[in-house]
Amino acid sequence: MSFSDLIYPFEWIVAWILYGWHSLFTAIGIPPASGAAWVLSIIGLVVVMRAAMIPLFVKQIHASRRMQLIQPEMQKIQAKYKGKTDPESRQAMTQETMDLYKRTGTNPFSSCMPILLQSPFFFGLFRVLNGLQGMADGSKDTIGPITRQLAAQAEQSTLFGAQLSDKFIGSETTTVKVVTIILIVLMSLSTFTTQHQLMRKNMPASALDNPFAKQQKLLLYAMPIFFAISGVNFPIGVLLYWLTTNVWSMCQQFYVIRRMPAPGSPAEQALRDRKAKRGKVHEEFTVKGLDKSDDDAPKQVSGQRQQPTRNKKRKGAQKTSPQAPKPGQKAQTAGGPGTPSTKKGKAQASSTPGSAVTENAPKTDN
């Protein structure tokens, strides 16, 4: 199976979403062949995709919080096997790390899921926009509801004078190059702002030296370079999709920093202060199973006296009673009312568990 066969289902989904938004915008009076209708349709595609991934985004946030909170335990494991390169030590280190993930319910790959899920739709949009000219002139099969007429309209639609299907490389139009550069700069600025806010406000000081923080620092400066290199190879419409996705991510990140900050970060302290002014208590984000000693400790009930032995004595005394009480005679039980007892009798009763205590206990000589 080729790459085209794998991507085709996502092309089909993208085509239907674009068609749905385009039909909506034309129904409210926007000309169907105008660039505004197709530009807004691409933005609508981003809205649909990102809204559908909100549950995954919440899981990503929780996974990120867990990864930050278990970093001290991770560092202990790494320090324990530091300098040990033999296969047994490496395997033991891996096993302890996996046990920590399992105990705390942490999945280190959860943060990658939104990106992985977006990638097929990104390439699906790329192939749809790249094939508009072929679908319009009949040299390529149409996709889903995109007819030849719609493909011709989309292929001729423009953004600030540049066609949505044009690319920087291979274009001789200055407008296309200028619009491409502007979109790449805006993409880089939005990504830089998102990562910078994440590191400055939503990362505790203790986590600035861990691998996650180093990865964020790398992305902070590497993403603009990546956009500059790869952006010139994509159509204007794909860059618009990319920019809209970055803006959505930036807004989501601002929401997370304000409402769901990382534990121990400056943003969490700011949230505490805001809640304290309103008389509310901030709830800590905890990771179940992080303290292994708490899970392994036996549960005890304090402040309650248990007397299983005494109960057994009483039951034994009742069961081994030699005779039933006669009519008119009060029943006598060990320790009950009407039972004369001496210190010696008590000592004998306690020394022989399960024996009956009678009224006339024989005295023994010392």
pLDDT tens per residue across span 4-41:
788 889 999 999 999 999 999 999 999 888 889 999 99
Mean pLDDT of all residues belonging to the chain: 76
pLDDT digit string, tens, across residues 243-297: 999 999 899 888 888 887 877 778 888 888 888 888 877 666 666 666 554 444 4
**Ordered mean pLDDT values, 10 residues apiece, the chain (366 residues):** 82 93 93 89 92 84 77 83 86 89 78 76 85 86 89 87 87 89 92 82 67 70 82 89 91 86 80 84 65 46 48 47 50 46 43 42 44
Map out the domains of the chain as residue ranges.
Answer: 3-70+106-277
Q: What is the Cα–Cα distance from 212 to 233, expressed in whole angstroms?
A: 30
Q: How many other CB atoms are found less than 10 A from the CB of residue 234? A: 24
Q: Which amino acid is at 234?
A: F
Q: Which residues contact 266 (CB under 8 A, 6 or more apart)?
A: 200, 201, 202
Cα–Cα separations (whole angstroms), residue 359 to 203, 229, 281, 321: 78, 103, 66, 12
Lookup: tokens for 28: 């409210």
Asked if residue 348 lies in contact with residue 356, where contact means CB atoms within 8 angstroms, the answer is no
DSSP one-letter string for 315-328: HHHHHT-SSPPPTT
Q: Which residues contact 115 (CB under 8 A, 6 or more apart)?
A: none
